[in-house]
Structure 1
Amino acid sequence: MNAPAESGTAVPRYCAQPPQTQPVLRPDLNPNRSRAILLVRAKWINGTVLHYAFLDQGGDIGGPEQLDEVRHAFQAWKALGIGLEFQEVADPGDSEIRVLFRESEGSASYVGRDNLGIATNEPTMTFGWDLTTPYGKATALHEIGHVFGFAHEHQNPFAGIVWNEEKVYADLAGPPNNWPHEVTFNNILRKLSQNEVTGSTWDPDSIMEYSFGPGLIVRPEAYRGGIPETLGLSATDKERVLQWYPPLVAQPARLQPFQSAPVQLATGGQANFEIIPPETRSYQVGTFGNSDVVLALFEETADGLRYVTADDDSGQDRNGRLDVKLVKDHRYVARARLYSSWGNGSIALMYW
């Protein structure tokens, strides 16, 4: 996302997304399994409560109104009916998302579950310009899109964009961005693998799309004159976020100890089960079958569901297992998001 160009230049300021982490997969792994893992790896377990904290009160960008725009942006995504929840907390140590306002830092966010690898005293999202303008409001929506696991749309391999690379590097190396070569490559010129992209089309109206001036794009010819500014969520943005984070059912099915529950899911699908243990002791919660799964456990508290533990068995020939102490009559929710299955495709979940 970008801010208005500074006086005397046609180049806007852009979001400088940090490089995403890449999973290390066995070279002999079935290509279909690899593709599924790459497609799902950045996405959160649906139903997760993402806690966000502000590291300052607007920094050198402005005052409390900057914080309000971030709150409004979270609410705009939530209003679509997605299954993720958002909760503001005062202590950054209790948050997954930490917001800093600093002009020198620019605007950026880590992508999806990469946020979990950042130290709790460090920001995961920065804003480098005023969020109260139309451009700024769109920037807040854009950075939260990164939090959900979405990349820059112009890097979609199905866009078919051919760049005037020399001009792109030259324009971004100058003010107001002053980007080094590797930042420009990572945020504009690098094409995503087809394995990382949902669907097979490019959405130039996406909130995850930059605007570009004339002369940077060689093809498609329709965009030689540039890509106009996007100030809101497109129809495709709304469709994609609901695909990954659909509304949750009011009450997940109850899982009984020592009784396996079959799970029928497509790639990226998720199953949710309620657990109310009959006694306080150590339990195992696990999946069975030939599958790559992220398995997570949440406990109901006065403040809502809180994350307890998780296991990711993707790319490994084993099943997910959680070893955890559960308390009698407390309510827990186990959530399993599927990367892929193979063999007969039958999967089950059980606790014992």
Structure 2
Amino acid sequence: MSDRTESDFCGSLLVGEVISGKPRAALVRGAKWNPGDRIEVCFLDGVPSVQERVKTFAKEWTALGLANLRFVFRRKPAATPIRISFKYQGHWSAIGKECLASPFTDATQPTMNFGGFDEETPDEMMRAVVLHEFGHALGLTHEHMSPAAGIHWNEEQVYADLSGPPNHWSREIIRKNIFEVREDTNYTEFDPSSIMLYRIKKSWNFDGLEVGWNNDLSPTDRAFIRQQYP
């Protein structure tokens, strides 16, 4: 969507890094939940009407025929595995069960954040970001970090763009979230339609690859999450 900036999806970093997302998908093996798990979620802050919209969009991952998991939303802040805030900058989430370990052991701190979401945020934008971040919460990594992606990055151009506004990322954050390949994943072929893929500018690579904003679960996202959580 034209009103987004790179930071909307390129804010999908681990909390510890920040506070401080056709055939293909990738899931971090050690971060998988068990099929059939009930995953408790709470909101640490935020407007009730916005919280309800987040709940609705998040549950698309666990709809009939998709992941055999259940998100259980608690009414009050609690020591749940997933804790959502709207207070911090950017959109980000812990990866799967990594939310149970350091640096996420402080139950007063979020494991997921939707910075800037309010009652004026359009449904289309909110839905896309929530699907992306809850994909992380189910253990999915970014599509471009899969061993199957094989993107030949124009690294200096990516560094130049993402170190400036609106992201202002350090080279280390850019490396971790763009160039790093996660070998500890279950994956298929690269899927340019995945909800877990960042926007990719043609100038950022030498392959002629250009990807806009992906706003929905792709057919492969759906098939893959069903396979991982039967």
Shorter-chain TM range is: 0.7 to 0.9
Q: Which has the larger share of helix?
A: 2
**Corresponding residue SS for 1:16:** coil
C-alpha separation in 2, matches of 1:106 and 1:132: 16
Q: Given the alignment of the two structures, is residue 47 of structure 1 paired with residue 36 of structure 2, yes or no?
A: yes
Q: Select the structure of larger CA radius of gyration.
A: 1
> 1:241 is matched by which residue type in structure 2?
I
Structure 2, unaligned stretches of length 5 or more?
17-26
Q: Judge conservation of contact 1:51–1:97 (CA < 8 Å) in 2.
A: yes
Partner of 1:287: none
Partner of 1:93: 78
**Corresponding residue SS for 1:52:** strand
Q: Number of paired residues?
A: 211
Change in Cα spacing, 1:91 to 1:12, as seen in structure 2 (3 Å) is: closer
Pairing of 1:216-231 with structure 2 (within 5 A): 216-219=204-207, 221=208, 223=209, 226-231=210-215
1:122 to 104, 109, 113: 109
C-alpha separation in 2, matches of 1:168 and 1:86: 36
Q: Judge conservation of contact 1:15–1:107 (CA < 8 Å) in 2.
A: yes
Q: Judge conservation of contact 2:15–2:92 (CA < 8 Å) in 1.
A: no
Partner of 2:178: 188
**Corresponding residue SS for 2:40:** strand
Q: Judge conservation of contact 2:95–2:139 (CA < 8 Å) in 1.
A: yes
Structure 1, unaligned stretches of length 5 or more?
6-10, 21-37, 58-62, 247-352
Change in Cα spacing, 1:89 to 1:12, as seen in structure 2 (3 Å) is: closer
Output the aligned Cα RMSD: 2.2
C-alpha separation in 2, matches of 1:19 and 1:91: 21
Q: Judge conservation of contact 1:3–1:129 (CA < 8 Å) in 2.
A: no
Q: Judge conservation of contact 1:69–1:132 (CA < 8 Å) in 2.
A: no
> 1:122 is matched by which residue type in structure 2?
Q
Pairing of 1:49-88 with structure 2 (within 5 A): 49-57=38-46, 63-81=47-65, 82-88=67-73
Change in Cα spacing, 1:125 to 1:3, as seen in structure 2 (3 Å) is: farther
Pairing of 1:128-143 with structure 2 (within 5 A): 128-130=115-117, 131-143=121-133
Q: Judge conservation of contact 1:3–1:135 (CA < 8 Å) in 2.
A: no
Q: Judge conservation of contact 1:73–1:144 (CA < 8 Å) in 2.
A: no
**TM-score with structure 1 length normalisation?**
0.56
Partner of 1:211: 199
C-alpha separation in 1, matches of 2:98 and 2:39: 13
C-alpha separation in 2, matches of 1:49 and 1:172: 37
1:159 to 142, 149, 163: 149
